[in-house]
Chain A
Amino acid sequence: DTAVSQTPKYLVTQMGNDKSIKCEQNLGHDTMYWYKQDSKKFLKIMFSYNNKELIINETVPNRFSPKSPDKAHLNLHINSLELGDSAVYFCASSQDLTISEQYFGPGTRLTVT
């Protein structure tokens, strides 16, 4: 069983569209994250949720809206997509906020044309 899963794996869309990426973890963890890895391979944290509560929002445009319906899910909705949003988006989870061992999903490669 995959510990942290994301769908879709690939997403190609046009500028101005709205899209969502879904993430689920079956590890029973309390904390989930979204990261963005750009073309230069820098991995940056975007959001962190703990028990469905937003903990980190790292200067991300408000076009990005995370939603956590329950502890096991953290979805990322992106409005009005821009070319600069093209990147690989990783979801991750950890047992709780005190643990730096995070489990990452396989990533979603978003291409905005």
Chain B
Amino acid sequence: LAKTTQPISMDSYEGQEVNITCSHNNIATNDYITWYQQFPSQGPRFIIQGYKTKVTNEVASLFIPADRKSSTLSLPRVSLSDTAVYYCLVVGMDSSYKLIFGSGTRLLVRP
């Protein structure tokens, strides 16, 4: 499974847009990108998933360039409650159930 690299931590302020980039240079053709969010003392929560170009839902957008070697999770107008750890995962289509979590990005949103 492709290894992912993402920043250890990021700081932002309420109301700003936050972009968290993840690199996955060894992503395979059958892999897709999935992002999870984890609040303190809670289990991770699925945010968004995509294969290429752009995916948007009510929570976030996911941008994936043509070479798919990186992806960017975009959180519009963050609030204090978006303070959490964000995990980027590369998941194989033939092993969708096997999630491998890295160290994630700790996002701190300040007032």
Residues of A within 8 A of B (CB): 4, 31, 33, 41-45, 48, 50, 55-56, 90, 92, 94, 97-107
Chain B contact patch, size range: 20 to 34
A4 to B46, CA, bound (A): 14
Contact B46 A101 (CB under 8 A): yes
Per-residue contact bits, chain B 34-49, to A (CB 8 Å; 1 contact, 0 not): 1000100111111001
Q: How many A-B residue pairs have CB under 8 A?
A: 60
A4-B43, A43-B38, A43-B101 known; 16 other A-B pairs, CB under 8 Å? A31-B97, A43-B44, A50-B97, A55-B97, A56-B97, A56-B98, A101-B34, A102-B44, A102-B97, A103-B46, A104-B42, A104-B43, A104-B45, A106-B41, A106-B43, A107-B42
B104: chain A residues at CB < 8 Å are: 41
Given A42, A102, A106, which contacts B42 in the complex, CB threshold below 8 Å? A106
Given B91, B96, B101, which contacts A42 in the complex, CB threshold below 8 Å? B101
B103: chain A residues at CB < 8 Å are: 41-42
Closest Cβ of chain A: how far from B104's Cβ, in Å? 8
A106 to B104, CA, bound (A): 19
